[in-house]
Amino acid sequence: MTFNVNKEVSFLKAQSQLITRKRKKPSKLDQFSSQLRKLFAAGASKAELQRWLARKDIHVQWTTVKRWLDKNA
């Protein structure tokens, strides 16, 4: 039996689509989306955005801010 790389990759990708779930609840950061985008566009770093959110009682890791910006900004 020969090993078909393309067939295996196609199978793995199809399997990944079946097991991937959509997020059921909105992000904590969605309520501040316009402010976060404006601050980031003005030059604020991800760590600075994290501190800004903490002042608003939204406590998240900077990686959460990074992932949110990667998807939404």
Over range 44-66, report the average pLDDT: 96
What is the reported pLDDT for 1? 67
What is the reported pLDDT for 58? 95
Cα–Cα dist 48/39, whole Å: 9
Over range 44-62, report the average pLDDT: 96
At 50, the pLDDT band (50, 70, 90 cuts) reads very high
**Is residue 22 helix, strand or coil?**
coil
Which pLDDT tens digit goes with each residue over 5-42? 999 999 999 999 888 877 778 899 999 999 999 999 99
Helices (H) and strands (E) in the chain, counts: 4, 0
| Cα dihedral 33, 37, 39, 40 sign | positive
